[in-house]
Amino acid sequence: MINISQNKIQLSKKLKERALFEGFAISGIAEIPGSSRLKLRTNALDRWLSHNYHSEMKWMEAERRKNIESLLKGAKSVLSVGYNYISEQTKNNKRYKVGKFGQAKDYHKVISKKLKNIGKWINQEIPDCKWKICVDSSPLLEKAWAEESGLGWIGKHSNLINKNYGSWFTLGFIILTKDLMPDKPYQSLCGKCDKCIEQCPTKAIVEPFVIKADLCIAYHTIENRNKTIPEKIKKNLNGWIAGCDICQDVCPWNKDIPYNNTFENTPKEWIKNLDINSLSWDDKKWEKNLKGSTLKRIKPWMWRRNIKAMLKNY
């Protein structure tokens, strides 16, 4: 039993170290089905959906999201990783603001490539283990499992926060059929701080940890497929045309965090130089610029809609 336990500990340690070697800032492991907090997070999701706070993001209703084992038969553990997307060059155009997560290379591709490399390592080190990669689009309670893995805690702005990296990181996961040693989940360190709630200009954080999507600037500039943006949102864009970082910018945990100055994190030149002339770009020009970017989810006509709405109320 001692040998089995020691092997489990060593294997878990090596897997997390491999994740750091591949370029992730943080890594942790959770056992499946997880602790009682997963049930609490699932119940919170149900309440959020029942209030229709997800607006038109209907994919959030997928039942599979509540059962990680539906993604991989025989799943026993999950490796959670965080990729730090902030570099010294990640700054905002003063008038045409783009969310920091979308300024550089598409993080889905960056994270997937690194996770695949970890998968190759798993094939060599644990040949009897099956695994499955999940990045963003998979029906998974991502932040809940990252919290369960000890990467951080879910803040009042609903983003995951880590003591060393704040909330400036995106998540990735590998579900495994191997029984591994779980890490201890974080406890919330938000305390009495309500800066994210107080500073949101549209009051999208309707209560701690709860975001009402149709009041969120990021939702309307990225997900809203209507031809117009609601007046209340328009009046509060204040330069934002793709995403919004206000609730994270004011978070005390996001001060003095380390940079990740890799080529993958270098902001695209066209984003840094956005101006009024971008409204004259045709669809081909937009599509060329958006290629390889997380922001390709925003269609060319949406970019023009967002910019016009921002300029009208700036």
Total residues found in the chain within this entry: 314
The DSSP-derived string for 161-184 is EBTTTBT-EEEEEEEESS--PPPP
For 232, 290, 303, the CA distances from 227, given in Å and listed in that order, are 15, 20, 11
Separation of alpha carbons 19 and 27, rounded Å: 6
* Residue 84, amino acid: N
**Strand ranges for the chain from DSSP E:** 26-31, 77-84, 97-98, 131-134, 153-154, 160-161, 169-176, 205-207, 210-211, 240-242
Question: Exposed, middle or buried by CB within 10 Å (0-12, 13-18, 19+), for 5?
Answer: exposed
- Positions marked catalytic: 136
| Beta strand pairing call for 240-242 and 169-176 | unpaired
Separation of alpha carbons 234 and 298, rounded Å: 17
Contact between residue 52 and residue 153 where contact means Cβ atoms under 8 Å apart: no
Q: Which residue, 182, 129, 138, 170, is CA-closest to 23? A: 170
Q: Which residue, 186, 191, 198, 212, is CA-closest to 47? A: 212
Spatial CB neighbours of 296, under 8 Å, sequence gap ≥ 6: 106, 287, 290
Separation of alpha carbons 213 and 224, rounded Å: 10
